Amino acid sequence: MSPTEPPTISEAISGDHKSLDEYADRIRSSTSVEDKTKWRNQLTWALARHAISEELTMYPAMEKHLGEEGLQLTNTDREQHQAVKEDLYKLQSLSPSSSEFSPLLDRLMTDLHEHIKHESEEDMPRLEEKLSREESQALARSFERTKMITPTRSHPSAPNRPYFENFAAMLAAPIDRFKDLLTTFPEKEELPKKHQSRL
């Protein structure tokens, strides 16, 4: 991808994955509870939006373009997402000073990396093969736009299939966004450019 060319769906999702790893590393390397909390909040904000946006944009595209194979792949993805959402739900309100925090963060990232491996080795190559570059770029734009209106916290009991998930997301997002106003985050300059805008 050239600096001026829009990303494909694979590139957009891979960029998010790199940012999520960076946020987890910043939690681990921070020395104060306050800084760990800010990076925990950033990880929660980014991962919750990422997961729901995949479910609302990429998974329907996989089911449409890959048929039965796409349905099987997205069923696996949704199961993996559920494990990640459950870990994130616990982590998002747990103090970094808790003895449970670091093991839970490690489990979350292990579950997430299992999912990332499945996406990068199974989902993305198959989907990209069926899409033109322009279609992939359009899907990436939809993925990014969807993140602007999704919940910013994990809601593992919410539905994870389109139409039901869309409705649940529309109900949860305003409450999450209000909570964001009362939450501490890293300073804008500390974030990768891609995530410097939270609103």
C-alpha–C-alpha distance, residues 144 and 16, integer Å: 10
Give the C-alpha distances (Å, rounded to integers) separating 136 from 68, 125, 133, 195.
Answer: 20, 12, 5, 21
As averages over each run of 10 residues, the pLDDT of the chain (199 residues) reads: 82 96 97 96 95 93 96 94 94 96 98 96 96 97 92 73 60 73 82 58
Indicate the pTM of the whole model.
0.86
pLDDT at 160 (0 to 100): 62
Q: Are the beta carbons of 9 and 39 closer than 8 angstroms?
A: no
Predicted local confidence at residue 199, as pLDDT: 40
pLDDT at res. 185: 84
Residue 177 has a pLDDT of: 75
